[in-house]
Structure 1
Amino acid sequence: MFTGIDEVDWASLRHAYGSATDVPGLLRGLASADTAEREAALDGMYGSVHHQGNVYDSTLACVPFLFVLASRPEVRDRGAIVELLASIGAESAGPRAGAAVRAGAEALVPLADDPCPGVRRAVPGALVRFLDEPERVLALLRRRSTVERDEQVLLALTEALGLFVRCRPERAAGAVELLAAQSGPPYAPATRLAALGQLGLGAPERLPSDLVPTAVRLLRERSERRAAGPDRVDADTLVGRIRRLRPSDEEGAYLLRTLHRALDDRVADRIALLVGQLSGPDPMDRCNAVWMSAGLFRGWRADFSAPVSLIGGQLDGEQDQLRDAAVSVLVDLFGLAAPAADELHALVTVRPDLWVHTWERGRPSLGGPLKALARSGDPRAVPALSQLLARPVVPGGLGFEIVHLGPAAAPLAPALRRRLGQVDPDSPEAAEVAAPLLAAVTALKDPAALPEVLRLLRGAPDGLGAREALVGQAVRALDVLGTAARAATPVLRGLLDTRHAALAAGALWSAEGDAAAVLPVLLRELAHGRSRSARTAAEQLGRLGAAARGALPALRRLAGSGRIWERTAAAEALWRIDGDPEPVLPVFRAAWSENPYSRGTIAGCLAEMGPAGAPLRDLVAAELACARRHTARPGGYGSHDIAQDERLLADCRRALVQHSP
């Protein structure tokens, strides 16, 4: 089995962690009769020899031995070895790796009829990718689809047919016909769902016109068949108990995910599919739908009130997994979670134990149900938040969530001031504790908080790291108070020669309205400050309006030559100071296309410009017509992107109204 393995100079080869001298041991471990040893060896292969999908010279040296292992019936877990080979040969691993696996692909052909279902499940996709005989591959897939009885293997064969359609479009007709046949009776519901998903990915024109009701019906039929099967027996272990409490259905999740990928921008159909599944009787189906909804909400725009309301309906059941999944999705929706607010409030009311999440290490954090309710802007979150502010330890980040309540959070102002007064500026945790509280005070524009903000500002000298962030947040809190913060002017003047100069100058302008005192500082930061300081200086100059006309030449230079954020801020300041759209609109148009994250700032300014912004009406109209969120991208994105995108859409609507003749 390992003939020639000792003749390889493994010491001269490398993997992710250096010398490959341990690789022969890993290869031999894959053939072990001991389950734990096999699993450790496979972990080692993925952890070092094929670390994070990378291919090294030692990886290529392993390929012939992996083919031998996959072909020996006495070796267990050979399906995992075939999957490892397929991963090594993937396109992302490079042409040498693909060529190495293709060179041995003939050895995979007899494995399509292997007695082990795990092997038969792993082989079809690998044959499509690496056996350069498409007609032979298609014939093999057709034959196996006819005789195979294992449902998991049938799903793998269906997926391989879909892959064949996408990889070999010039020879796809036969595979498409097979998929079309598998999408109907007498095939099992899971196979039919898989075929519909693969048709959607490779031949959407062959999908039935009643796809969504058909898919929902098949999902329910599949669930009924699963429920009628033998009960799963879990060992009396911790893992077994967790499985009993938290059921999962990976196959169902995969089938649903494939359908959603196939539907892509057909958002109305995707919503209907989710609604159908969320309305079904099976909790596993509903849980899969909840998790699937998260990607739809984050990546696309639509009226999601129907599925959000149904997700809210999952909060009052006895399934912990379903409730936790629903909360996890709702907490990322911010204002879009409003249709589920009644259910969130009910959960917060009856389960105060969920108000706080306690970690093994670090500060406790705000629990999901209360966080989702606050982020939705619902004032019913205020009483619970008030109780948390009265506890000895305030959950980390609580103040940041209070911000989303807007004016409804006013009753919390006294408690916020009291907690600010308890922060020790000299504590290493001062910034971590104070920043959320300062954010909430800033949102409320509470003038009574002035003494506590000043105390923190005086006690946190300028410097690097967390203290710097604390100073910046405190200055912003003073800025929103306007003339009510005049008592802070000596402290603000003391910051005009620090890294916070631009922010302090803006707060000083709000307090005193003395352009002569702040204009030289802002001009200095505009010309000689760091990139962030220059951007902040431009933003503050725009607030001065006509009083900053002396800064126009410098702003024009920055608008024409700075980085994108500096250019955008400078262009906005030019408009606010001079009111001339001619030098502003070209900068906005270029930035809009260059970086989608700039669109929120630009759209807000266009809404204020009125008819002067009409030449960019095409950008605003195109944004509103786009089905995808402006930050949607492969690989995931932060939950706050939903809130940012919704604000962008609101500003675009305002701008479009303002631009109308």
Structure 2
Amino acid sequence: MFTGIDEVDWASMRHAYGSAEDVPALLEGLASTDAAERETALDGMYGAVHHQGDVYDSTLACVPFLFALAVREEVRDRAGIVELLASIGGVGDTGGAEGVGGVVGIGGVGGISGDEQDGGGAAARARAAVRAGAEVFVRLMTDPDAAVRRAAAGAVVRFLDEPERVLGLLRERIRAERDDRVLLALIEGLGRFARRHPSRAGEAVDLLEAQSAPPHGPGLRLAALGQLAGCAPERLPADLVPHVLRLLRERARQRPAVPDEPDRPGTDTLIGRLRLLRPSDEEGSQLLRTLHTALDDRVTDRIALLSGQLACPDPVDRCNAVWMSTGLFRTWRANYTEPVALIGAQLPGEDVRLRDAAVSVLAELHELAAPAADALHTLVTERPETRVRTWERGTPALGDALKALARTGDPRAVPVLAEVLAGPVVPAELGHVIPHLGRAAAPLAPALRGRLAGLALDAPDLHDRAVPLLCAVAALGDTEALPAVLRLMTGLPAEVRLRETVVSSAVRTLGALGAAAREAVPVLRGLLDGPCGITAAEALWMLEGDAEAVLPLLLGELSGEAGGSARVAAEALGRMGPAARPAAPGLHRLIRSGDLWERTAAACALWRVTGEPDPASDTLRAAWRESPYTRVPIATLAVRLGPEAEPLRDLLRTELSARRRHRAAPGGYAGTDLHEDEVLLRRCREACSIAA
């Protein structure tokens, strides 16, 4: 297996963490008789040698040894090695098949090495090396180990460059195979083949259609329907949704209990942690994910399917549906009242896995979780233990159910949050959810004020505690909190962690308090020459309205001499409006910046300062097209400009007619993307209604 391994100059090679001299030990660990050692070695391969999907010279050097390990029947867990090889060889190669099922190893979700961008480099050589060993995958399709056969099925389709032979192998193995999990992989292989070789897809599609009908079992039929949806949607049954739901119920009746894996080690590795996070019915989850992904923009069908799944009698199917819902919600704009209410209906009962899945999804939905608000309120009132999550290490966190309820803006969250505020420790998230409640959260002001005043100024976690509380005080406009805010601005020891961030947050809070905070003016003036100068200048303007007092500082920062401050200065000047007209020449210069965000901030400010759409509108239209992340601030500007925003109105109307969420992109998602999209839609509607 390791012939020649000592002849490789590993020390001269690199992986993600430096020298590759430790790679031979990882390769040898893959062949260990000890399960924990094997898993640790595989985790090391993904963590360093194939880090986040990248390939290095050491990755290439490993390929021959990985193939040698894959064919030795005495080596345990060879399926993981086959998946690793497929991931290494598949870097940057979608083949028209990604996202529609497939047997994928942990590396299959990683990043793509920059080396392959020019069509050569390490990634291209890795693809060539794995393709050169494709005969090994052919051999492994008949391996005694079913897990190996399953992994090899997908690898043959991806790396054997003989389409007719590949199709023949799939056809032969489907007839001979008796293991349902391997059959699922073969069906996925047929779908991948049809997408990869559309000119030869006819027979593959025929085979898929045959597998989607009796006498085949419900799991195989669901798998075939998922693949047909991705490569031949015209061959799907007309009554697709009820047909799938019938198969789901039939599969649930036949599904055996989830088997234990007594030989699986409990290693503290990424692979071990991911295994613990897998759904209890991983196969069913994959079947449904494949179908939903293939249906893509058939949103009406997907909502009907999801609602049917959420009403299934089997809690495992319902749990799979809950997790499946996030991809739909995050990607497409639609009326999700029914499925969200059904997710809320999963909260009662004692199925912890199902309840945790439901609250986790609802917490991401923000205002879209409103149809589940009654169920969330019942949960946080009847189960007080759900309000705060405690950890062995770290500070307590706000429970997802209470977080979700507050983010809907439901005022019933207020008394529950008041009880949490009265507890021994206030979770940091509490301060961040209060702004979602608006003025309904006013009764919380005294408790927030008291917590803010009671903070120890030399506490190592002061930043984590103070900033969320300041955010809440600013949202409520609690002028009685002024002494506590000033205390944070003037009394912090120099060594406090993230001191400037705390002071800046306090300054912004003063600005939000308005004229009632005028007694803080001397303190703010004292901050003008420091690192919080721009924030202090803007707060001074909001408290006094004296442009002459703050313009010199902002104009100096606008030049960018301080580094990275020009954008912040431009945003402050824009909020000053016509009073900042002396800044117009500097904003004109900044509008030509090479930085997108500086250009966008300068254009927004210039329009507000001068009242003239040119040249700002052209810059903003270009920014809107260049990056979806600029759209919320541009739409917000349109609201503020009112009828004067006519040059942008067509962009807003087009956005309102778009079905896809503005930040939706394959393979990437931030936790606020869905909420930001809803904010964008509200801004666009408001701006367009002003024009009307």
- Whether TM exceeds 0.5 here: the answer is yes
Deviates more, 1:558-567 or 1:6-15: 6-15
For residues 572-602 of structure 1, what are the alpha-carbon distances to aligned partners after superposition, in whole Å with 9 as ceiling and x for unaligned?
A: 2233233222322112101111221111111
> Which amino acid in structure 2 is aligned with residue 211 of structure 1?
L
For residue 415 of structure 1, what is the aligned residue in structure 2? 447
- Among 545, 552, 555, which residue is 1:523 paired with? 555
DSSP-derived class of the 1:94 partner: helix
Map 1:397-546 onto structure 2 (within 5 A): 397-460=429-492, 466-528=498-560, 530=562, 532-546=564-578
For residue 586 of structure 2, what is the aligned residue in structure 1? 554
For residue 107 of structure 1, what is the aligned residue in structure 2? 136
For residue 81 of structure 1, what is the aligned residue in structure 2? 81
Does the 8 Å CA contact 2:460/2:496 hold for their aligned counterparts?
Answer: no
Question: Structure 1 residues 235 and 558, CA, compared in 2 at 3 Å: closer, same or farther?
Answer: closer
Question: Structure 1 residues 159 and 13, CA, compared in 2 at 3 Å: closer, same or farther?
Answer: farther
Deviates more, 1:539-548 or 1:256-265: 539-548
Question: Structure 1 residues 224 and 566, CA, compared in 2 at 3 Å: closer, same or farther?
Answer: same
Distance between the aligned counterparts of 1:97 and 1:562, measured in 2? 36
- Among 579, 591, 595, which residue is 1:563 paired with? 595
Question: Structure 1 residues 574 and 464, CA, compared in 2 at 3 Å: closer, same or farther?
Answer: farther
Does the 8 Å CA contact 1:501/1:525 hold for their aligned counterparts?
Answer: no
> Which amino acid in structure 2 is aligned with residue 8 of structure 1?
E
> Which amino acid in structure 1 is aligned with residue 288 of structure 2?
L
- Among 230, 245, 253, which residue is 1:216 paired with? 245
1:35 to partner: Cα distance: 4.2
Distance between the aligned counterparts of 1:532 and 1:20, measured in 2? 38
- Provide TM-score, normalisation by structure 1: 0.92
Distance between the aligned counterparts of 1:567 and 1:457, measured in 2? 32
- Structure 1: runs of 5+ lacking an equivalent: none
> Which amino acid in structure 1 is aligned with residue 230 of structure 2?
L
DSSP-derived class of the 2:346 partner: helix
For residues 275-324 of structure 1, what are the alpha-carbon distances to aligned partners after superposition, in whole Å with 9 as ceiling and x for unaligned?
A: 01001101111101111112222222211111110010010021000001
Question: Structure 1 residues 348 and 29, CA, compared in 2 at 3 Å: closer, same or farther?
Answer: closer
Distance between the aligned counterparts of 1:464 and 1:583, measured in 2? 44
Question: Structure 1 residues 63 and 457, CA, compared in 2 at 3 Å: closer, same or farther?
Answer: closer
For residue 620 of structure 2, what is the aligned residue in structure 1? 588
For residues 476-533 of structure 1, what are the alpha-carbon distances to aligned partners after superposition, in whole Å with 9 as ceiling and x for unaligned?
A: 1111222111111111111121222222122212222222222222222222454653
- 1:641 corresponds to 2:673: yes
DSSP-derived class of the 1:633 partner: coil
Map 1:7-22 onto structure 2 (within 5 A): 8-11=7-10, 14=13, 16=15
Map 1:595-614 onto structure 2 (within 5 A): 595-614=627-646
For residue 155 of structure 2, what is the aligned residue in structure 1? 126
1:608 to partner: Cα distance: 3.0
1:244 to partner: Cα distance: 13
For residue 67 of structure 2, what is the aligned residue in structure 1? 67
For residue 206 of structure 2, what is the aligned residue in structure 1? 177
1:205 to partner: Cα distance: 3.0
- Provide TM-score, normalisation by structure 2: 0.88
Question: Structure 1 residues 435 and 19, CA, compared in 2 at 3 Å: closer, same or farther?
Answer: closer
- Structure 2: runs of 5+ lacking an equivalent: 93-121, 267-272
1:636 to partner: Cα distance: 2.8
Does the 8 Å CA contact 2:209/2:224 hold for their aligned counterparts?
Answer: yes
- Among 135, 138, 163, which residue is 2:164 paired with? 135
1:108 to partner: Cα distance: 3.1
- Among 308, 333, 340, which residue is 2:365 paired with? 333
For residues 100-126 of structure 1, what are the alpha-carbon distances to aligned partners after superposition, in whole Å with 9 as ceiling and x for unaligned?
A: 222232233343233332222122211
DSSP-derived class of the 1:303 partner: coil
- 1:186 corresponds to 2:218: no
Does the 8 Å CA contact 1:299/1:632 hold for their aligned counterparts?
Answer: yes
Does the 8 Å CA contact 1:279/1:310 hold for their aligned counterparts?
Answer: yes
For residue 97 of structure 1, what is the aligned residue in structure 2? 126
For residue 279 of structure 1, what is the aligned residue in structure 2? 311
> Which amino acid in structure 1 is aligned with residue 200 of structure 2?
R
Deviates more, 1:202-211 or 1:499-508: 202-211
Distance between the aligned counterparts of 1:594 and 1:146, measured in 2? 51
For residues 325-366 of structure 1, what are the alpha-carbon distances to aligned partners after superposition, in whole Å with 9 as ceiling and x for unaligned?
A: 101011111111111111111011111111111122222111
Distance between the aligned counterparts of 2:557 and 2:397, measured in 1? 38
> Which amino acid in structure 1 is aligned with residue 181 of structure 2?
Q
> Which amino acid in structure 2 is aligned with residue 466 of structure 1?
L
Distance between the aligned counterparts of 1:18 and 1:560, measured in 2? 41
> Which amino acid in structure 2 is aligned with residue 542 of structure 1?
G
Deviates more, 1:298-307 or 1:155-164: 298-307
Question: Structure 1 residues 183 and 13, CA, compared in 2 at 3 Å: closer, same or farther?
Answer: farther
Question: Structure 1 residues 32 and 474, CA, compared in 2 at 3 Å: closer, same or farther?
Answer: closer
Distance between the aligned counterparts of 1:553 and 1:244, measured in 2? 59
- Among 293, 312, 315, which residue is 1:261 paired with? 293
Question: Structure 1 residues 464 and 502, CA, compared in 2 at 3 Å: closer, same or farther?
Answer: farther
Distance between the aligned counterparts of 1:403 and 1:317, measured in 2? 31
- 1:158 corresponds to 2:187: yes
Deviates more, 1:30-39 or 1:113-122: 30-39
Does the 8 Å CA contact 1:10/1:20 hold for their aligned counterparts?
Answer: no
For residue 298 of structure 1, what is the aligned residue in structure 2? 330
- 1:616 corresponds to 2:648: yes
Distance between the aligned counterparts of 1:496 and 1:68, measured in 2? 67
Distance between the aligned counterparts of 1:527 and 1:49, measured in 2? 45
Count of residues paired in the alignment:
655
Does the 8 Å CA contact 1:462/1:498 hold for their aligned counterparts?
Answer: no
1:218 to partner: Cα distance: 1.4
Deviates more, 1:566-575 or 1:52-61: 52-61
Distance between the aligned counterparts of 2:532 and 2:446, measured in 1? 28
> Which amino acid in structure 2 is aligned with residue 95 of structure 1?
A
Distance between the aligned counterparts of 2:678 and 2:507, measured in 1? 28
Identity within the alignment, %: 62
> Which amino acid in structure 2 is aligned with residue 553 of structure 1?
P
> Which amino acid in structure 1 is aligned with residue 547 of structure 2?
A
Does the 8 Å CA contact 2:53/2:91 hold for their aligned counterparts?
Answer: no
- Among 373, 378, 388, which residue is 2:405 paired with? 373
Does the 8 Å CA contact 2:35/2:265 hold for their aligned counterparts?
Answer: no
Question: Structure 1 residues 123 and 374, CA, compared in 2 at 3 Å: closer, same or farther?
Answer: same
Deviates more, 1:417-426 or 1:471-480: 417-426
For residue 610 of structure 2, what is the aligned residue in structure 1? 578
DSSP-derived class of the 2:141 partner: helix
Distance between the aligned counterparts of 1:486 and 1:269, measured in 2? 58
Deviates more, 1:593-602 or 1:210-219: 210-219
Aligned-residue CA RMSD (Å): 2.8
Distance between the aligned counterparts of 1:328 and 1:125, measured in 2? 32
Question: Structure 1 residues 529 and 648, CA, compared in 2 at 3 Å: closer, same or farther?
Answer: farther
Distance between the aligned counterparts of 2:18 and 2:352, measured in 1? 45
- Among 274, 299, 302, which residue is 1:270 paired with? 302
For residue 382 of structure 1, what is the aligned residue in structure 2? 414
Distance between the aligned counterparts of 2:537 and 2:21, measured in 1? 63
For residues 115-173 of structure 1, what are the alpha-carbon distances to aligned partners after superposition, in whole Å with 9 as ceiling and x for unaligned?
A: 33222212221111222221111011112112222110110100111111122222222
Map 1:23-34 onto structure 2 (within 5 A): 26-27=26-27, 29-34=29-34
Does the 8 Å CA contact 2:463/2:497 hold for their aligned counterparts?
Answer: no
Distance between the aligned counterparts of 1:474 and 1:648, measured in 2? 28
DSSP-derived class of the 1:427 partner: coil
Deviates more, 1:272-281 or 1:536-545: 536-545
DSSP-derived class of the 1:143 partner: helix
Does the 8 Å CA contact 1:298/1:639 hold for their aligned counterparts?
Answer: no
